[in-house]
A and B are shown apart, each in its own frame.
Chain A
Amino acid sequence: MLVRTVVTVLLVLMVFPLFVLVTDSFLGSREILERFGPVLAGTEGQAEFVLFPQYPTLRAYVQLLLDSPEFFTAFWNSVFQTGMILAGQLIVAVPGAWAFARYRFPGRRAMWFLYMLLMILPFQVTMVSGYFVLSAVHLMDTHWAVILPGIFSTLPVFILKKTFSAIPREILEAAEVDGAGELRIFLLIGIPLGRSGIFSIMILGFLEYWNAIEQPMTFLRTESLMPLSLYLPDISTSDAAVSFAASIVMLLPALLLFFFGQEYLEQGIAASGIKE
């Protein structure tokens, strides 16, 4: 009983911020200014705590979606950058992880070490070398400056390798005996059996790049290329209601994906935690 109470309290604490954000996004402009003004708009007084709005309204959303073209640009920038990175990772990271999981080629250990190192280093360290290359090939301040380094992130390789290693050897050996080539084995056995891992790196990747701040901040200068995550803090604080609504619109795709892909996400995370 005690255990159950503790766990429930923790659960409420975890979900609380999200709950507040969602319910409060239906606040009207005036109500938001009245209640959150002291924090968001710098008016006098103290912010009030509201669990449910008194006069719920969708006004802020309408205003955001219809009257702010910059929001649309930022939204599509985010979609484009995230989408391209994920597509690239599918092509690059999936076979890469397969190579590490299944083959013992020369230099494998050293390369794996470098990949792990690359995964651990904070972006700010690798940013220096990225900056040299991107400016050498004149890609700074374009979408590709964010996309290309993102594609070659080594974190998905690390997570997927575990999933691929968990595929029983016997299945692969049986396929080999039946005369399947290496590529066929990868495409027809590896990918279907590693499905949960692949979905999971896609979801994790989406959450990561939808939320990207460091990369666009350093590699982009032009306003019209900025993704949502950097546009949001810039929304003028004079309209707190709109900025509030914008933060919810940003949250929605991530939440939807989370709910639909949750099972795979869990399986994928779990797979990286099990012994090889």
Chain B
Amino acid sequence: MRQRKISHRRWILIWRNRNKKQWKGLLFLIPSLLGTGGFVFLPFLDVIRRSFFRASGTGFVGLANYEAVLGNEAFCMAVKNTARFLCICLPLLLGLSLLTAVLAGQVLRVSGLLKSGFLIPMAVPAASAVVFFRLMFDKNGWVNGALQAFGMEGQDWLNSENAFAVLIACYVWKNLGYDMVLWMAGLSSIPKEQYEAARVQGAGELQCFLYITLPQLKETAFVTALLSFVNGFRVFREAYLIAGDYPHESIYMLQHLFNNWFTNLDIQKMTAAAVMLVIVTGGVLLGNDICTEHFRRREEGTEESGKRREAGRKAKRKRAEITKG
């Protein structure tokens, strides 16, 4: 009994020390925390406050700013376009890059060269890439030239609905390599033995992919989707350099809108829209967080119960052996 007490106390001591160590870890974070706190988090509180006030910062107006934003035609269009862009280009890029990663994995010998070839578009600055895209898709550009050579009618690609497609092509071109490398890393972490075992039992390529590869790529898929999402907002650069502040309606994104509000010093609209965007993105992220946590728990749970079952079976076998003996 006495001994037990001592060990109990010792555990508390270790726990306390552990906590002290963990607090020390916070020291490493302080520079970063000061910066993000000072530049983003604290001023964002001010953004929230201002979103309920008149432009001068005085005079409470309730939700008027929010109503103004939601009733704004340009805002609705920009939200629609941004959502449409992300909904099309994210699945497209993720699927295409996964396919390329799987294919490239089969062409083993040249995969080093392959990777650099696919990654190179990342290194091309928007200002340079745009020169190429203009030569290609301008009214007098190469694509139209080629079409006319075949007797077809060209069109003004960048100043029509097609600008949207050009922008998607640009996004896929730029990010395919990055995502491919991410997928390849995920693919290479799957043990080869699993495929061999499955093939021995007569599984085909497709079955291997569906039942071995895909389930084990969940974590990679999350990270890849997240980073592609972040990069999705960056196409604004190409869009801006090609078409300026007011591009064709089909590619008028939230980023354009914010910029134009900023130039017109339309601060109330900006603050209200920023708050709404943060709430929506935060909500999505939080939902995702809760879901993954839930799945992880469940998986761990099944694993644990599996282990218990296994242990139970072993014990049974042992007992049987003993009774036999």
Q: Which chain A residues have a beta carbon within 8 Å of chain B's beta carbons?
A: 3-4, 6-7, 10-11, 13-15, 17-18, 20-21, 36, 38-40, 45-49, 91-93, 95-96, 98-100, 102-106, 111, 113-133, 148-149, 151-152, 154-155, 157, 182, 186, 207, 210-211, 213-214, 217-218, 228-229, 232-233, 243-244, 247-248, 250-251, 254-255, 257-259, 262, 265-266, 269-276
Q: Which of B131, B138, B186 contacts A273 (CB 8 A)?
A: B186
| Contact status A120-B224, CB under 8 Å | no
CB of B212, distance to nearest CB on chain A (Å): 15
Does B262 make an interface contact (CB < 8 A)? Answer: yes
Inter-chain contact total with CB atoms closer than 8 Å: 280
Q: Which of B184, B219, B262 contacts A270 (CB 8 A)?
A: B184
Does B322 make an interface contact (CB < 8 A)? Answer: no
Closest 4 CB pairs of A and B: A103-B25, A96-B32, A152-B35, A129-B43
CB of B114, distance to nearest CB on chain A (Å): 6
Q: Which of A10, A133, A213, A266 contacts B43 (CB 8 A)?
A: A133
Pick out which of these stretches binds chain A: B2-10, B66-74, B170-178.
B170-178
Query: With A15-B120, A18-B124, A39-B135 as given contacts, are A103 and B274 in contact (CB-CB < 8 Å)?
Result: no
| Contact status A20-B31, CB under 8 Å | no
| Contact status A96-B142, CB under 8 Å | no
State in angstroms the CA–CA spacing of A49 and B124 once bound together: 21
* Residue of B whose beta carbon sits closest to that of A268: B181
| Contact status A273-B32, CB under 8 Å | no
Q: Which chain B residues have a beta carbon within 8 Å of chain A's beta carbons?
A: 21-29, 31-33, 35-36, 38-41, 43-44, 46-47, 100, 103-104, 106-107, 114-135, 138, 140-142, 144-146, 148, 173, 176-178, 181-186, 189, 219-220, 223-224, 226-227, 229-230, 233, 236-237, 240-241, 254-255, 258-259, 262, 267, 270-271, 274, 277-278, 281-282, 285-286, 289
Query: With A99-B25, A120-B226, A130-B39 as given contacts, are A21 and B132 in contact (CB-CB < 8 Å)?
Result: yes
| Contact status B121-A18, CB under 8 Å | yes
Q: Which of A14, A247, A258 contacts B131 (CB 8 A)?
A: A247
Q: What residues of B have a CB within 8 angstroms of the CB of A218 in the complex?
A: 259, 262
| Contact status A46-B144, CB under 8 Å | yes
Q: Which of A3, A11, A45, A152 contacts B106 (CB 8 A)?
A: A3
Query: With A21-B128, A91-B31, A157-B32 as given contacts, are A36 and B135 in contact (CB-CB < 8 Å)?
Result: yes
Query: With A3-B107, A117-B282 as given contacts, are A247 and B138 in contact (CB-CB < 8 Å)?
Result: no
| Contact status A129-B40, CB under 8 Å | yes
Q: What residues of B have a CB within 8 angstroms of the CB of A148 in the complex?
A: 35, 39
State in angstroms the CA–CA spacing of A4 and B26 once bound together: 50
* Residue of B whose beta carbon sits closest to that of A151: B35
CB of A160, distance to nearest CB on chain B (Å): 11
Q: What residues of A have a CB within 8 angstroms of the CB of B186 in the complex?
A: 273-275
Q: What residues of A have a CB within 8 angstroms of the CB of B224 in the complex?
A: 273
Query: With A6-B103, A95-B29 as given contacts, are A39 and B120 in contact (CB-CB < 8 Å)?
Result: no
Q: Which of B29, B130, B132 contacts A99 (CB 8 A)?
A: B29
Query: With A47-B140, A218-B262, A262-B116 as given contacts, are A272 and B127 in contact (CB-CB < 8 Å)?
Result: no
* Residue of B whose beta carbon sits closest to that of A257: B123
Query: With A4-B107, A14-B117, A232-B127 as given contacts, are A273 and B142 in contact (CB-CB < 8 Å)?
Result: no
State in angstroms the CA–CA spacing of A65 and B168 once bound together: 35
State in angstroms the CA–CA spacing of A16 and B241 once bound together: 20
State in angstroms the CA–CA spacing of A275 and B274 once bound together: 33
* Residue of A whose beta carbon sits closest to that of B122: A207
CB of B40, distance to nearest CB on chain A (Å): 5
| Contact status B124-A273, CB under 8 Å | no
| Contact status B227-A272, CB under 8 Å | yes
| Contact status B31-A266, CB under 8 Å | no
Q: Which of B100, B124, B134, B254 contacts A124 (CB 8 A)?
A: B254
| Contact status B126-A274, CB under 8 Å | no
Q: Which of B29, B127, B220 contacts A228 (CB 8 A)?
A: B127
Q: What residues of B have a CB within 8 angstroms of the CB of A276 in the complex?
A: 219
State in angstroms the CA–CA spacing of A152 and B259 once bound together: 22
State in angstroms the CA–CA spacing of A20 and B128 once bound together: 11
Query: With A7-B107, A258-B119 as given contacts, are A125 and B258 in contact (CB-CB < 8 Å)?
Result: yes
Q: Which of A132, A182, A228, A257 contacts B47 (CB 8 A)?
A: A132
State in angstroms the CA–CA spacing of A262 and B271 once bound together: 40
| Contact status A213-B35, CB under 8 Å | no
| Contact status A127-B22, CB under 8 Å | no
A/B interface sample: 26 pairs, CB < 8 A? A7-B103, A7-B104, A7-B107, A39-B140, A92-B31, A106-B23, A114-B36, A123-B255, A128-B267, A129-B39, A132-B43, A132-B47, A133-B43, A152-B32, A229-B125, A233-B130, A247-B131, A248-B128, A255-B120, A258-B122, A262-B119, A272-B227, A273-B223, A273-B224, A274-B189, A275-B186
Q: Which of B145, B233, B240 contacts A48 (CB 8 A)?
A: B145
State in angstroms the CA–CA spacing of A247 and B109 once bound together: 34
| Contact status A258-B120, CB under 8 Å | yes
Q: What residues of A have a CB within 8 angstroms of the CB of B23 in the complex?
A: 105-106
